[in-house]
C-alpha cells in the first residue's frame, strides 16, 4: 500500500504543466507534445506515427507551434518541458499541413485525381485508410504539385500473403521500423535516398528469400495500403458489409487478441487488436493468415467412422457419438480413469477447448487433458 | 583501418572490400554483415545510400566527373561525354571549384579542362594575403614544409598543446575559447566554447571529438586546403578539444573525394604519434588521445553532424531527431563534440595568441576570421581568410580582382549553395551573419560562387535544386518531395503552365520546407527559389516566354 502511494506521490511531484491551446495542462516526465495533445483530444495529424514505435519525425504533419521557437517543432519527437506554451493548431500550421498532404498525395497520384491511387479497399490492412482519411480532412484532391511519382510495386513477389504495392508507398518507414523494433526480424530496409527511396529486402529479393516471417505486422501498420493483405483482398468483390468480431487467436498459449473480419457468413481476414493485452497489435503468421481451414471446401461435412474393413465411411452424428462413447467407456472400464487423455486442437474454437476439458474432468475425473497450442 | 578492433569499423571495411574487388559483391556484404552483426537487409539498404559504393563489376574505378555548379560552367558535360566509354558518372561538387574540372579515377583525383589535359595537380595554396588585416588559420600555411612535423613546429606548432597540458586546466582552455568568440565554421555557427563546455559537463564516457571534414557543400574547398597544407593544426586542435572536454578519442570524417588528403592526414597522424603528440602520455603528461580517420562514401547529408554520427556508427545515415544533441548523446550515444576542420584549426592559434587577439581580428563588433572559398566568374578564385564583417565587394573586387573584363557580377551564392543567391544591391552586404541574415541568407561554411551577367540564373537555380534533391536523405516528407517538385518546376518538367500559379506553388512548397523540414538541408534548399524570385523576377518571367 505505502509503496503504491509513494509511487503516486513521486509521479505527482515530477508532474508539471505546459500551456496547450491556452489551457494549462499537466504532463509527466518524458511525455512528448504529441502524447499530451492526443490525451487532450487535439486532432494533430500524423502519418509516420505508430505509438508502439520510437517516434521518427518523418511526416512533419504533427508540427506544433511553441513560443520561443522560430520554426514549428515536430510534436512526436519533442518532449514537454515545464512552462512551454504550445499551439496544436493555427492558420499557419494548417496551411503547412495542407501543403504537406498535397505533396505526399502527389507522390502517388503524380497530379491526377486521388481516386484509386490513395482511396484503397480497407481489406488491405488495419491502418490502410490513414492517408485517404487525412486527404479528405485536408480536402486534397490529388491534382496539386504534379510531377513524378515514387515507389515501384513488386509485381514479381508472388508470395501468398503480402502484396507489395509500392506505387502507393509514401516512405513513412513504419513497416521497416515495426519489423525491426517489434518483430526483431530486420527483414526489410530502406534503399536509395531522397525521392528514390524504396522499401527493400536483402539484395532486393522477394520476401520469401529474405528474413521475413510473414507476421504481417508491416501490412497492418502501413498507412496507405501499399503493403496489403493478399488473402483478405481475395474477398474485395465479395458482397456484404465488412464486420469485425473480437476474439482471441486459438493457435498458442500467448492469447493474442484479434478482430475477425467477415462479410456475410464468410471469414475474410484477421486484424490484430492494438488493445489486445497480450499482443498489443502483434501477431505471427498463423494468427494473421492461417484461417482458411475454417471454411475450406475440403473440410469434412459429416462425421466418419471406420468400417470393419478399415475404411472410413460417412455416418450420422448418432452413430459416431455412440461409437465414441462405447470406446471411452470400454477404456475406462478396462484400464481406469487415467487411461483417458484428450488433446484439443489449436484450430478448434475456445468453446470447444473448454468443452473438451470439461468432458474429461467431469466425465472421467481425470486431469489428463491438454491442447496442442500450449506452447 | 590499421587494426581490426578499432571503433567505427563499418566504413573502413566497406572501403577495403570495395577497393579489393572494385565493387561491393554480395559475398562481401554477407561477410561484413556476419562480422559486424548488422542485419543484411539494413546493410544492403545502407550501402545503396552511399553513391560511391558500386555494386557492378569495375564500378569503383569508373571515372567520376564533377558536375557541380562551377564545373558546369567549365564544360563538365563535355568531359562526361568524352569519358562515357569508360563508364563515367557525374558526382556532385567535388570541392575543387578553383581548379580545372576534377575527375576521380581509380583512387586518384585528376583535374583538367579536357580529357587530354587531365593530370594530378596539387591543391592550390591560398593566394598571397591581399588584405591589411591579419590572418589566423592561414597565417603560416604558405610556408614550405608546413605539413610536416618539423615545419609545423618551426612556427610555434604544438606549443599551445604543450603549455595547456602542463600549465592550464581544461576549464581554462574552454574559457579562452569562449572569450575568443570562436563559433562553428562548418555552417551552423554555434559558439565553440559553449559546445565544449556542454561536452565537458555531460555525464558518460568515453567522450569523442569528431572533426567534420566531409566538406560536401558545393563551392567549398577551404577545409582541404588546411588539411593538405597544415594537417598538424587540426591534430593539435583536436587534442586540445579532447583535453578541454575529457574526450580520449577522435575521428576525422573525410569525404572520399579527397584521397590525397587521406594520405597526408595519415602521415601527419603517424608523425604526431611518434612525437608523443597523440596516443598515451601526450607531451609527457597523463593525457591520452587516439585519432582515427574515417572516409565517407558520397553523401552530402553525412556532413550534417547527426547523420555523420549514424554513418560512423554503421547505421543508416538519416539525421537524428534533436534533442538530445550530440554534446550529450553523440557517437555511440555518449558526449561528443563535432567540429569543423576550420574551427579546430583556429584553436591552437587562439590559445597561443589569446582570446583578445582573436576577437580583434574581426571588423567592428565581429570576432575573428572566416575562410571563404571563392569560385566562378572571378579573376582570382581561391581560398581567402577574411576578417568577419569585411564588405563582400571588397573581397570580390579588391581581393579577387573582380569579374572578367567587360563583365559584371549578376549573383553570388552564399554558404555554398545553402544560403541561396545574393544579387542587386544586396551585393553590398558585409560578410557576417547579422548582415547576411538580414538579407535572408547566411555565411555558413563560407563558399561563395560568382555568376556574371552572361549566366542563365534559372539554369543555375535548377542545377542547385537538383543537387539538393539528389542529396536529400529521404527521411522527411517536405524535403524528400519538396526538393523533387522544386527541381521539376525549375526545369519546367511539370507544374503549372501559368506564371502566377507556378510562383504560388513554388512559394508554398518553399515555405513549408523551410518551416517543417527535419534538418538544415530541407530548410536551406528553398532559399534557392526564394532568392531567385527575389532578385531575378525578369529571368523567371522570361522562362515563361513573357
Ligand atoms: C546538410 C548539411 C551538411 C553539412 N555539411 C557539413 C560539412 O560538410 N562540414 C561541416 O563541418 N559541417 C557541415 N554541416 C554542419 C554540421 O552539422 C555541424 O554543424 C558542424 O560540423 C559543427 O561544427 P562547427 O560547430 O565547428 O561548425 C552540415 C550541415 C547540414 C545541415
Ligand atoms: S511480415 Fe513481419 S517479418 Fe515480414 S517484413 Fe513484415 S514485419 Fe517483417
Ligand atoms: S510500405 Fe507502407 S508502411 Fe512501408 S514505408 Fe511505404 S507507406 Fe510506409
Ligand atoms: S531535411 Fe532532407 S536531408 Fe534533412 S532529414 Fe529531411 S529529408 Fe533528410
Ligand atoms: S508523427 Fe511526427 S513527424 Fe510524423
What's the gap in Å between A176 CA and the centre of ligand 3? 8
Provide the pLDDT for residue B516.
98
Is the model's pLDDT at A2 over the cut of 50? no
Interface of A with B in 151-170 (CB under 8 A): 170
Q: Is A65 helix (H, G, I), strand (E, B) or coil?
A: strand
| Other CB atoms within 10 A of residue A255 CB | 15
Is the model's pLDDT at B48 over the cut of 90? yes
Q: What is the ipTM of this complex?
A: 0.96
C-alpha distances in Å from residue A337, one per residue of A59, A75, A250, A361: 64, 64, 28, 10
Closest chain B C-alpha to A321 CA, distance in angstroms: 55
Among A375, A334, A372, residue whose Cα is nearest residue A356: A372
Task: Let me know if domain A235-299 sits in CATH 3.40.80.10.
Answer: no
* CA triple B264-B265-B266, angle to 5 deg: 95
A80 touches chain B (CB under 8 A): no
Q: Is B311 helix (H, G, I), strand (E, B) or coil?
A: helix
Closest chain B C-alpha to A191 CA, distance in angstroms: 4
Provide the pLDDT for residue A1.
38
Q: Is B49 helix (H, G, I), strand (E, B) or coil?
A: helix
Which architecture does CATH list for A5-89? Roll (3.10)
Categorize the per-residue pLDDT at A371 as very low, low, confident or very high, splitting at 50, 70 and 90: confident
* All three cell numbers of A166: 509500392
Spell out the domains of chain B, with CATH numbers in brackets.
62-117 (3.40.30.10), 149-359 (3.40.50.11540), 369-452 (3.10.20.600), 457-544 (1.20.1440.230)
Is the model's pLDDT at B281 over the cut of 70? yes
Nearest CA to ligand 1 atom 28: B304
Which ranges constitute the DSSP H helices of chain A? 2-13, 33-39, 91-109, 130-137, 174-178, 217-221, 230-233, 285-289, 317-335, 350-364
Categorize the per-residue pLDDT at B5 as very low, low, confident or very high, splitting at 50, 70 and 90: confident
Rounded distance, CA A210 to CA B84, Å? Answer: 36
Asked if the Cβ–Cβ distance from B470 to A194 is below 8 Å, we say: yes
Asked if the Cβ–Cβ distance from A96 to B46 is below 8 Å, we say: no
| Other CB atoms within 10 A of residue A354 CB | 12
Pairing of strands B247-254, A266-272: unpaired
CATH class of A115-230: alpha beta
Rg (CA), chain B: 23
Provide the pLDDT for residue A375.
56
Residue B412 β-bridge partners: B422, B450
Provide the pLDDT for residue B106.
86
> Cα-Cα-Cα-Cα dihedral of A6, A7, A10, A14, to 10°?
-160
A303 touches chain B (CB under 8 A): no
Asked if A106 contacts A147 with a C-beta cutoff of 8 angstroms, the reply is yes
* All three cell numbers of A59: 511526416
Nearest CA to ligand 4 atom 6: B476
Contacts of B434 (CB under 8 A, 6+ apart): none
**Biggest alpha carbon–alpha carbon distance for chain A:** 89
What's the gap in Å between B183 CA and the centre of ligand 1? 12
Mean pLDDT throughout A71-94?
Answer: 97
Angle of helix A91-109 relative to helix B499-516, nearest 10 degrees, comes to 110
Is the model's pLDDT at B299 over the cut of 80? yes
Contacts of A358 (CB under 8 A, 6+ apart): none
Residues of B in contact with A184 (CB under 8 A): none
Mean pLDDT throughout B341-367?
Answer: 97
Is the model's pLDDT at B351 over the cut of 80? yes
Provide the pLDDT for residue A116.
84
Residues of A in contact with B49 (CB under 8 A): 190, 192-193
Asked if B318 contacts B535 with a C-beta cutoff of 8 angstroms, the reply is no
| Other CB atoms within 10 A of residue B178 CB | 17
Asked if A43 contacts A108 with a C-beta cutoff of 8 angstroms, the reply is no
Provide the pLDDT for residue A3.
45
For residue A115, say if its preceding peptide bond is cis, omega within 30 degrees of 0: no
Q: B225-247, pLDDT tens digit by residue? A: 999 999 999 999 999 999 999 99
Domain spans of chain A, in order of start: 5-89, 115-230, 235-299, 304-371
Q: B409-430, pLDDT tens digit by residue? A: 999 999 999 999 999 999 999 9
Ligand nearest to the CA of A210: 2
A88 touches chain B (CB under 8 A): no
* All three cell numbers of B146: 608546413
Residue found under cell 512526436: A76
**Biggest alpha carbon–alpha carbon distance for chain B:** 73
Q: A102-140, pLDDT tens digit by residue? A: 999 999 999 999 988 899 999 999 999 999 999 999 999
Mean pLDDT throughout B73-101?
Answer: 97
Is the model's pLDDT at B491 over the cut of 60? yes
Residue B292 β-bridge partners: B251
Residues of B in contact with A194 (CB under 8 A): 469-474, 480, 483-484
Q: Residues near ligand 4 with C-beta < 6 Å?
A: B 301, 319, 472-476, 479-480, 517-519, 521-522
Confidence (pTM): 0.95
In chain A the first and final C-alpha atoms are separated, in Å, by 36
Ligand nearest to the CA of A201: 2
Is the model's pLDDT at A15 over the cut of 80? no
Ligand nearest to the CA of A35: 5
Q: A183-199, pLDDT tens digit by residue? A: 999 999 999 999 999 99
Q: For B389, phi and psi rounded to 5 degrees?
A: 100, 0
Buried b (16+ CB within 10 A) or exposed e, B270-291: ebbbebebbeeebbeeebebbb
Rounded distance, CA B326 to CA B462, Å? Answer: 34
Is the model's pLDDT at B169 over the cut of 80? yes
A55 touches chain B (CB under 8 A): yes
DSSP B124: P
In chain B the first and final C-alpha atoms are separated, in Å, by 59
Q: What mean pLDDT value characterizes chain B?
A: 97
Residues of B in contact with A95 (CB under 8 A): 508, 512
Is the model's pLDDT at A158 over the cut of 80? yes
Provide the pLDDT for residue A373.
77
Provide the pLDDT for residue B3.
52
Q: A288-310, pLDDT tens digit by residue? A: 999 999 999 999 999 999 999 99
Interface of A with B in 189-228 (CB under 8 A): 189-197, 200-204, 210-211
Question: In chain A, which residue's Cα lies nearest the Cα of B488?
Answer: A147
Is the model's pLDDT at A10 over the cut of 90? no
Mean pLDDT throughout B81-92?
Answer: 97
C-alpha distances in Å from residue B281, one per residue of B36, B166, B235, B359: 31, 12, 16, 32
Nearest by CB to residue A189, choosing from B42, B301, B485, is B42
> Cα-Cα-Cα-Cα dihedral of A170, A176, A177, A180, to 10°?
180
What is the CB-side half-sphere exposure of residue B143 using CA atoms within 13 A? Answer: 18
Provide the pLDDT for residue B546.
64
Closest chain A C-alpha to B288 CA, distance in angstroms: 37
Amino acid at each position: 500500500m505505502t509503496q503504491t502511494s509513494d509511487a503516486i506521490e513521486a509521479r505527482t511531484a515530477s508532474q508539471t504543466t505546459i500551456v496547450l491551446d491556452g489551457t494549462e495542462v499537466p504532463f509527466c516526465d518524458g511525455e512528448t507534445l504529441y502524447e499530451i495533445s492526443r490525451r487532450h483530444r487535439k486532432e494533430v495529424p500524423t502519418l509516420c506515427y505508430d505509438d508502439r514505435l520510437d517516434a521518427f519525425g518523418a511526416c512533419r504533419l504533427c508540427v506544433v507551434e511553441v513560443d520561443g521557437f522560430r520554426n514549428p517543432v515536430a510534436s512526436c519527437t519533442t518532449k514537454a518541458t515545464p512552462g512551454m506554451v504550445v499551439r496544436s493548431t493555427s492558420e499557419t500550421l494548417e496551411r503547412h499541413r495542407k501543403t504537406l498532404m498535397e505533396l505526399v498525395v502527389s507522390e502517388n497520384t503524380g497530379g491526377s485525381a486521388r481516386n484509386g491511387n490513395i482511396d484503397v479497399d480497407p481489406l488491405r490492412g488495419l491502418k490502410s485508410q490513414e492517408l485517404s482519411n487525412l486527404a479528405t480532412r485536408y480536402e486534397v484532391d490529388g491534382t496539386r504539385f504534379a510531377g513524378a511519382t515514387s515507389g515501384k510495386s513488386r509485381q514479381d513477389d508472388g508470395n501468398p500473403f503480402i502484396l507489395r504495392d509500392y506505387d502507393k508507398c509514401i516512405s513513412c518507414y513504419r513497416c521497416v521500423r515495426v519489423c525491426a523494433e517489434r518483430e526483431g526480424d530486420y527483414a526489410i530496409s530502406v534503399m536509395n535516398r531522397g525521392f528514390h527511396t524504396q522499401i527493400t529486402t536483402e539484395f532486393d529479393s522477394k520476401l520469401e528469400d529474405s528474413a521475413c516471417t510473414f507476421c504481417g505486422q508491416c501490412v497492418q501498420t502501413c498507412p496507405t495500403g501499399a503493403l496489403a493483405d493478399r488473402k483478405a483482398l481475395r474477398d474485395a468483390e465479395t458482397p456484404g458489409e465488412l464486420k469485425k468480431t473480437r476474439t482471441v487467436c486459438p493457435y498458442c498459449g500467448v492469447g493474442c487478441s484479434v478482430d475477425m473480419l467477415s462479410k456475410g457468413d464468410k471469414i475474410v481476414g484477421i486484424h490484430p487488436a492494438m488493445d489486445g493485452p497480450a499482443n498489443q497489435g502483434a501477431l505471427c503468421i498463423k494468427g494473421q493468415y492461417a484461417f482458411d481451414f475454417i471454411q475450406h471446401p475440403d473440410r469434412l461435412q459429416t462425421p466418419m467412422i471406420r468400417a470393419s474393413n478399415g475404411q472410413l465411411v460417412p455416418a450420422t452424428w448418432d452413430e459416431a457419438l455412440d461409437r465414441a462413447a462405447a470406446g471411452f467407456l470400454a477404456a475406462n472400464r478396462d484400464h481406469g480413469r487415467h487411461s483417458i487423455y484428450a488433446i484439443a486442437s489449436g484450430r478448434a474454437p475456445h468453446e470447444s477447448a473448454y468443452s473438451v476439458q470439461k468432458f474429461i474432468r467431469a466425465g472421467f475425473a481425470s486431469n489428463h487433458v491438454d491442447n496442442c497450442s500450449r506452447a | 583501418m590499421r587494426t581490426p578492433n578499432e571503433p567505427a569499423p563499418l566504413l573502413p571495411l566497406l572501403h577495403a572490400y570495395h577497393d579489393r574487388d572494385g565493387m561491393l559483391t554480395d559475398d562481401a556484404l554477407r561477410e561484413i554483415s556476419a562480422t559486424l552483426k548488422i542485419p543484411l537487409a539494413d546493410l544492403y539498404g545502407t550501402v545503396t545510400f552511399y553513391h560511391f559504393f558500386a555494386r557492378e563489376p569495375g564500378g569503383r574505378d569508373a571515372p567520376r566527373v564533377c558536375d557541380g555548379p562551377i564545373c558546369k560552367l567549365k564544360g563538365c558535360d563535355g568531359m562526361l561525354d568524352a569519358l562515357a566509354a569508360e563508364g563515367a558518372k557525374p558526382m556532385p561538387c567535388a570541392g575543387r571549384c578553383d581548379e580545372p574540372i576534377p575527375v576521380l579515377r581509380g583512387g586518384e583525383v585528376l583535374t583538367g579542362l579536357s580529357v587530354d589535359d587531365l593530370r594530378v595537380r596539387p591543391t592550390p595554396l591560398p593566394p598571397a594575403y591581399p588584405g591589411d588585416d591579419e590572418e589566423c588559420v592561414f597565417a603560416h600555411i604558405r610556408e614550405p614544409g608546413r605539413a610536416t612535423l618539423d615545419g609545423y613546429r618551426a612556427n610555434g606548432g604544438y606549443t599551445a598543446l604543450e603549455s595547456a597540458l602542463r600549465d592550464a586546466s581544461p576549464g581554462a582552455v574552454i574559457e579562452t575559447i569562449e572569450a575568443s568568440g570562436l563559433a562553428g565554421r562548418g555552417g551552423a555557427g554555434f559558439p565553440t566554447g559553449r559546445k565544449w563546455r556542454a561536452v565537458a559537463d555531460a555525464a558518460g564516457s568515453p567522450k569523442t571529438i569528431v572533426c567534420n571534414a566531409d566538406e560536401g557543400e558545393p563551392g567549398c574547398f577551404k577545409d582541404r586546403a588546411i588539411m593538405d597544407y597544415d594537417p598538424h593544426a587540426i591534430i593539435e586542435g583536436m587534442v586540445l578539444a579532447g583535453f578541454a572536454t575529457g574526450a580520449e578519442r577522435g575521428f576525422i570524417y573525410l569525404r572520399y573525394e579527397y584521397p590525397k588528403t587521406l594520405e597526408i592526414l595519415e602521415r601527419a597522424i603517424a608523425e604526431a604519434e611518434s612525437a608523443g603528440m597523440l596516443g598515451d602520455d601526450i607531451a609527457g603528461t597523463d593525457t591520452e588521445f587516439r585519432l582515427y580517420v574515417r572516409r565517407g562514401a558520397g553523401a552530402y547529408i553525412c556532413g550534417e553532424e547527426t547523420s555523420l554520427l549514424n554513418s560512423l556508427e554503421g547505421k543508416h545515415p538519416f539525421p537524428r531527431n534533436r534533442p538530445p544533441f550530440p554534446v550529450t548523446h553523440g557517437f555511440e550515444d555518449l558526449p561528443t563534440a563535432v567540429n569543423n576542420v576550420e574551427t579546430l584549426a583556429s584553436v591552437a592559434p587562439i590559445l597561443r595568441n589569446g582570446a583578445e587577439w582573436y576577437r580583434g581580428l574581426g571588423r567592428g563588433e565581429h570576432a575573428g576570421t572566416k575562410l571563404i572559398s571563392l569560385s566562378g566568374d572571378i579573376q582570382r578564385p581561391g581560398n581567402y581568410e577574411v576578417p568577419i564583417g569585411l564588405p563582400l565587394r571588397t573581397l570580390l573586387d579588391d581581393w579577387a580582382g573582380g569579374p572578367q573584363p567587360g563583365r559584371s557580377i549578376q549573383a553570388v551564392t552564399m554558404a555554398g549553395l545553402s544560403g541561396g543567391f545574393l544579387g542587386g544591391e544586396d551585393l553590398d552586404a558585409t560578410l557576417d551573419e547579422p548582415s547576411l541574415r538580414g538579407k535572408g541568407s547566411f555565411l555558413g561554411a563560407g563558399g561563395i560562387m560568382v555568376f556574371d551577367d552572361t549566366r542563365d540564373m534559372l539554369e543555375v537555380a535548377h542545377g542547385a535544386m537538383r543537387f539538393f534533391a539528389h542529396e536529400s536523405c529521404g527521411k522527411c516528407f517536405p524535403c524528400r518531395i519538396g526538393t523533387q517538385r522544386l527541381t521539376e518546376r525549375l526545369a519546367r518538367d511539370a507544374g503549372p503552365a501559368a506564371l502566377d500559379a507556378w510562383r504560388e506553388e513554388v512559394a508554398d512548397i518553399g515555405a513549408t520546407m523551410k518551416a517543417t523540414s527535419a534538418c538544415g538541408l530541407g530548410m536551406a534548399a528553398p532559399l534557392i527559389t526564394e532568392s531567385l524570385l527575389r532578385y531575378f523576377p525578369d529571368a523567371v518571367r522570361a522562362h515563361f516566354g513573357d
